[in-house]
């Protein structure tokens, strides 16, 4: 793509043109656009958005919650961006859950942009891409940006590396208390939600979470727990109000500032790793490793061979 074209796409995306936003995302996803170039243009203008991770087991109601939050946040005159990482099955290519909710509560609203992305790529890659997508949404002026994870495995943890705030969603009657005890998951959550509170035992779960938090998160005073129901609508307003006030106060929130700083350093480290590896693999070194044969490796350690290879430019 010519730099003139990129300039135009960037200008349009910044003005909230949905096609340009999609083009930027697809461009970096497919490698047609350089992440380096896009990132250097957009990050300077992407400072007023709050990025909120929504994680929790599949079926907990993460998509349903966002669907219900959208109108509440829009009432408060803020715009919304959503990145939904789809739980595509590696075998069937379809979703794990038949009754998965699609986020469609704002089809005609140009202040709400929803983008889904597949979870099938290598995990670190998905997280990095979600982070780049969220930057593009910030650049396009979205105030509150949600990133919904698949909620299984590493994605549950890694979403906290790319967001200002991590929300963990639980539901009663699903053995979530056991999940709660999983190492590390409590530490990274800033906000808890007990969804499907229309079901019995929701209060019991809230109490359990409270107990576990007070036992393990001693150094953190206020970890809010919201009780919501996407069926009755209970608790959604309170949850939305809290998220909006996080957005309002984020510039003065030291915890968020600290996270942004550590996120920045993490990205720097990743860029350095990628750059150094790319630099290392010169044509001669690539040729060298490709030309190794069975005899070459008989009596040599890989360290020795690498040392020899490093002598090449």
Ligand X SMILES: Nc1nc2c(ncn2[C@@H]2O[C@H](COP(=O)(O)OP(=O)(O)O)[C@@H](O)[C@H]2O)c(=O)[nH]1
Q: Hey, what are 192's tokens?
A: 């808890």
Closer CB to ligand X, residue 46 or residue 68?
A: 68
Site for ligand X in 13-72 (CB under 6 A): 58-64
- Whose Cβ is closer to Mg ion: residue 39's or residue 63's? 63
Q: How far apart are CA 117 and CA 87, in angstroms?
A: 9
Alpha carbon distances (Å) from 133 to 9, 19, 114, 220? 15, 14, 11, 31
Pairwise CA distance, residues 202 & 273, whole Å: 45
Please state, in angstroms and rounded to a whole number, the distance separating the CA atoms of residues 274 and 144. 30
Binding Mg ion (rule: CB under 5 A), the pick from 63, 134, 158, 163 is 63
DSSP, collapsed to helix, strand or coil, labels residue 155 as helix
From the list ligand X, Mg ion, none, pick the one residue 305 interacts with, judged by a Cβ distance below 5 to 8 Å according to partner type. none
- Residue 162's nearest CA partner among 264, 273, 29 is 264
Report residue 284 as tokens.
């001669």
Count the site residues for ligand X by CB under 6 A: 18
Minimum separation from the CB atom of position 158 to Mg ion (A): 17
Residue 96 per-residue DSSP state: S
CB of 249 to Mg ion, least distance (A): 28
Here's the x/- map for ligand X, 81-120, by CB under 6 A: it reads as ----------------x-xxx-------------------
Q: Smallest distance from the beta carbon of 9 to ligand X, in angstroms?
A: 31
Are 25 and 133 in contact by the 8 Å Cβ rule? The answer is yes
Partner from Mg ion, ligand X, none contacting 64, C-beta within 5 to 8 A by type: ligand X
> Is 158 a residue that touches Mg ion (CB under 5 A)?
no
Q: Which range of residues in 10-18, 113-121, 191-199, 281-289 is near ligand X by CB under 6 A?
A: 191-199
Spatial contact of 230 and 65, defined as CB atoms under 8 Å apart: yes
Cα distance between residue 14 and residue 198, in whole Å:
41
- Can you tell me the distance from the alpha carbon of 246 to that of 107, in angstroms, rounded to the nearest whole number? 26
Segment lying near ligand X (by CB under 6 A), choices 131-139, 192-200, 214-222, 292-300:
192-200
Shortest CB 64 distance to Mg ion, Å: 8
Verify binding: residue 230, ligand X, rule CB under 6 A. Answer: yes
Question: Which residues neighbour 151 within 8 Å (Cβ) at sequence distance 6 or greater?
Answer: 55, 56, 57, 58, 60, 62, 87
Residue nearest to ligand X (CB): 61
Contact partner, 195, from ligand X, Mg ion, none, Cβ < 5-8 Å per class: ligand X
Write the interaction track for ligand X spanning residues 236-255; mark x where CB under 6 A is met and - where it is not.
Answer: --------------------
- Site of interaction with ligand X (CB under 6 A): 58-64, 97, 99-101, 195-196, 198-199, 229-231
């Amino acid at each position: 793509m010519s730099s003139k074209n990129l300039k135009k796409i960037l200008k349009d995306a910044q003005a909230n043109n949905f096609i340009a936003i999609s083009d930027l995302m697809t461009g970096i996803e497919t490698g047609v656009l350089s992440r380096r170039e896009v990132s250097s243009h957009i990050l300077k203008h992407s400072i007023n958005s709050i990025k909120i991770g929504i994680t929790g087991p599949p079926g907990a109601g993460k998509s349903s919650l966002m669907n219900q939050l959208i109108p509440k946040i829009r009432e408060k005159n803020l715009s919304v961006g959503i990145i939904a990482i789809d739980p595509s099955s590696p075998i069937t290519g379809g979703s794990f859950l038949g009754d998965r909710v699609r986020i469609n509560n704002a089809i005609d609203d140009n202040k709400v942009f929803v983008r889904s992305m597949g979870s099938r790529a290598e995990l670190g890659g998905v997280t990095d891409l979600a982070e780049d997508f969220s930057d593009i949404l910030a650049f396009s002026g979205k105030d509150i940006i949600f990133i919904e994870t698949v909620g299984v495995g590493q994605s549950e943890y890694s979403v906290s590396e790319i967001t200002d705030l991590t929300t963990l969603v639980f539901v009663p009657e699903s053995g979530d208390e056991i999940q709660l005890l999983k190492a590390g998951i409590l530490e990274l959550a800033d906000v808890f939600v007990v969804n499907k509170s229309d079901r019995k035992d929701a209060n019991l779960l809230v109490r359990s979470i409270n107990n576990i938090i007070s036992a393990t998160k001693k150094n953190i005073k206020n970890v809010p727990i919201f009780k919501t129901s996407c069926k009755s609508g209970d608790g959604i307003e309170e949850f939305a109000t809290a998220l909006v006030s996080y957005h309002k106060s984020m510039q003065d929130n030291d915890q968020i500032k600290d996270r942004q700083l550590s996120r920045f350093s993490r990205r720097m480290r990743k860029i350095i790793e990628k750059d150094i590896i790319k630099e290392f693999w010169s044509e001669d070194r690539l040729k060298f490793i490709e030309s190794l044969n069975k005899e070459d490796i008989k009596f040599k350690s890989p360290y020795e061979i690498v040392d020899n290879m490093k002598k090449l430019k």
